[in-house]
Structure 1
Amino acid sequence: MNIAMWSGPRNLSTAMMYSFGNRPDFEAMDEPFYAAYLKAANIRHPMHAQVMETQESDPIKVAETCAAAPVSARHRYMKHMAHHMLEGMPLDWAKTCINIHLIRHPARVIASYAAKRENATLLDIGYAQQTAVYEKLGGLVIDSHDIRESPEAALRSLCAAIDLPFSVSMLRWPAGPKPFDGVWASHWYGAVHRSNGFAGPEGILPQLEGEAADLCAQALPHYEALKAQKLKVSLKSRYDSA
């Protein structure tokens, strides 16, 4: 089983990678198209040089790796940023994967992203690109709000939907960096490195102003359209035995 998990940045995507990567039957890949995206888009991100030095930047070769069978475990979990898939990037490889789309309210994403990188645009946070990937590939949709609200219930529901036995190992993981982290982890993953499980329920939505509020208004229709397709979480599953 190859799982392609699509999201934008600051969407609980790293915690989900750690959740699946902590299972003994899964290997994990962290944003395999990142260097290819940076090269094709000709933009600079934090730790740009290190990313280019440590990751394959030919999108054809990256696609071949993503399409191949897992190497070190029975299954593979791939964390993908939808905005990395620029026009012309290969996507046919994902048609043989289980495609899952992880979403989060844009107000929360924008507030979190601004703490790491200023002047975000709609292209940076990936909502339009995630809509495009969903329209091409289909798949399941799961909201990070539901995972934070009840991790076990949400993950049990997700596993059931993809015919994968749930494992309690998905709920807790060792704190600190992981061997499958991208080199950029030291800049972006500070909070999740300090964690050993999913954070608790989210509070009220951040109040955005000015350009941030305008950006949220642009992203919101994409979020709402995907949210309408999201997986229904069965709360009774939290009481099932492991």
Structure 2
Amino acid sequence: MSGVTHDAQPRRVVLWALPRTLSTVFEKCMGSIPGVQIINEPYAFAYYFGPEGKVAENPDTEINKTLQAVMKQGEAVVGPDVKPGWFHESVCTFQWVKDTLEAPYPGKSLVFSKDQCYCITDKLHMIPRGFRHTFLIRHPHKVFPSWKRVNQDLPEPLCPKRYGYAEMCDLVEHTKQRGDRNPVLIDADDLQTSPASIMRQYCDAIGIPFHESMLQWPSGTDFLDDWIINSTFVSVNKISQNGGFYEEAFNSTHFKAPSKIPSRSELTDDILELVDASMPYYEKLYEMRIKP
């Protein structure tokens, strides 16, 4: 890409998101940039499955037994197809994640990592140095119903203590206190409605050129070969019913027009409880967003 140099130290950007916010689609978009190294959710794997993670802390709970069984099933089918950048969850300590993000990556012009904001809440000292922090939000009326469809039981056991939006507000404030005074924040509906405008502004904010080619990418999972990503995760998504948690994102080719925001009358009581707790934080974040 013209205008991007392959320095010894590439430009580094992290996108902090919540589940079901189109973050993997956004990641595919960024993966179309020549010279980029994508690092997919390393903190999330440290948080859940690494040696310091929730499964290791309480291996005998029913949900953690289920998670272990699913991961073992995925691990069993990885076989010889592991790519050079794929990592096993057994190495995924928070320090390993930080070191991996801060590694040199010679020949790369951009290191782009996507992760879940709440997975770093209790480990803020492990935030990597040298990164521009950016954020992706989506209306709670969309996030929680989508999350429930793939997770079944909300808020327990996988939903964070403060449902994610409060954790993201805290992370935004933390990065501001560390000197990142102008948060780069995108709302998923704005991105779907005006992808060229939003992506142009996003690229300008993080200091890379925008190209129209960023708005179209191939369907399928071949792109994963070049990512730094958990190997078992790749297999789990291939063998899971309906293609797994990320089937729609993996099959995407562009940003689709947004669906309408469900009304309160369309939401169940358990979802409304999460929505009502999260909405003040969402509204605060929404005011900071890049506007179309």
Alignment match of 2:102 (pick from 67, 70, 95): 67
Tell whether 2:259 aligns with 1:202. Answer: yes
Question: Quick one: distance in 2 between partners of 1:32 and 1:168?
Answer: 29
Match of 1:214 in 2: 273
Cα 1:41–1:132 change in 2 (3 A) is farther
> Is the Cα contact below 8 Å between 2:21 and 2:137 reproduced in 1?
yes
Tell whether 2:130 aligns with 1:130. Answer: no
> Is the Cα contact below 8 Å between 1:4 and 1:97 reproduced in 2?
yes
Can you give the 5+ residue segments of structure 1 that lack an aligned partner in the other structure?
234-242
Aligned amino acid, residue 197 of structure 1: H
Match of 2:233 in 1: 184
What RMSD in Å do the two structures reach over aligned CA positions?
A: 2.2
Match of 2:16 in 1: 6
Aligned amino acid, residue 212 of structure 1: I
Deviation at 1:48, TM superposition (A): 3.8
Aligned amino acid, residue 40 of structure 2: D
Range with greater deviation from structure 2 (222-231 or 39-48):
39-48
Range with greater deviation from structure 2 (36-45 or 22-31):
36-45
Per the alignment, in what secondary structure is the counterpart of residue 46 of structure 2?
helix
Match of 2:179 in 1: none
Can you give the 5+ residue segments of structure 2 that lack an aligned partner in the other structure?
1-10, 56-63, 76-86, 177-182, 238-243
Written as runs of structure 1 = structure 2, the 5 A alignment for 1:66-215 is 66-71=101-106, 73-88=108-123, 90-94=125-129, 96-121=130-155, 123=160, 125-138=163-176, 139-177=183-221, 178-179=223-224, 180=227, 182=230, 183-185=232-234, 186=237, 187-205=244-262, 207-215=266-274
Match of 1:36 in 2: 46
TM-score where L is the length of structure 2: 0.73
> C-alpha deviations, 1:108-163, integer Å up to 9, x for none?
01111111101222517521221111111132111111100011111011112222
Aligned amino acid, residue 173 of structure 2: E
Range with greater deviation from structure 2 (206-215 or 13-22):
206-215
Per the alignment, in what secondary structure is the counterpart of residue 125 of structure 2?
coil
Match of 1:23 in 2: 33
**Structure with the larger RCO, 1 or 2 (CA within 8 Å, 6+ apart):** 2
Alignment match of 2:282 (pick from 214, 223, 235): 223
The total of aligned residue pairs comes to: 231
Deviation at 1:89, TM superposition (A): 5.0
Identity of aligned residues (%): 24
Question: Quick one: distance in 2 between partners of 1:163 and 1:28?
Answer: 17
